[in-house]
């Protein structure tokens, strides 16, 4: 049981770190923070944004939670629900990222 919890914590950390890297890289390249607001210009741009949202989603949601708490517009229950979503999303994306990293032929 304890090993599964450690594995989930590791995967969650890996997923959140990867989300932060993707979100920060997007902001470095475009100069704009990554948000869920998008313009559907072309199929390729929409497809690329979809994959950005899949992997950078925990970073975007946690940034929105912190902004909402600093403005006192988010309740404690909303913060707990959003933080739980971030943790589960991070574990899921961390599982994908670690699986891809372990399958590389290095």
Domain ranges of the chain: 2-103
Average pLDDT over the chain reads 90
Asked if 5 contacts 76 with a C-beta cutoff of 8 angstroms, the reply is no
Model confidence over 43-85: pLDDT tens digits?
Answer: 888 888 888 899 999 999 999 888 887 788 888 888 899 999 9
Asked if 16 contacts 98 with a C-beta cutoff of 8 angstroms, the reply is no
pLDDT grade for 29, boundaries at 50, 70 and 90: very high
The full length of the chain comes to 106
Asked if 94 contacts 19 with a C-beta cutoff of 8 angstroms, the reply is no
Q: Whole-angstrom Cα distance, residue 11 to residue 44?
A: 29
Asked if 60 contacts 36 with a C-beta cutoff of 8 angstroms, the reply is yes
Joined tokens for residue 89: 């999303």
Give the burial class of 94: count Cβ atoms within 10 A of its Cβ; 0-12 exposed, 13-18 middle, 19 or more buried: buried
**pLDDT score, position 96:** 95
Joined tokens for residue 4: 């599964």
**pLDDT score, position 57:** 92
């Amino acid at each position: 049981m304890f090993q599964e919890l450690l594995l989930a914590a590791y995967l969650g950390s890996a997923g959140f770190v990867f989300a932060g890297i993707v979100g920060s890289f997007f902001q470095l390249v475009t100069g704009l923070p990554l948000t869920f607001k998008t313009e559907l210009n072309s199929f390729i741009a929409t497809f690329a944004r979809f994959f950005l949202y899949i992997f950078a989603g925990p970073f975007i949601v946690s940034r929105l939670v912190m902004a909402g708490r600093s403005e006192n517009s988010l309740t404690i229950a909303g913060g707990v629900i959003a933080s739980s979503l971030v943790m589960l999303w991070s574990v899921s994306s961390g599982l994908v990222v670690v699986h891809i990293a372990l399958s590389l032929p290095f």
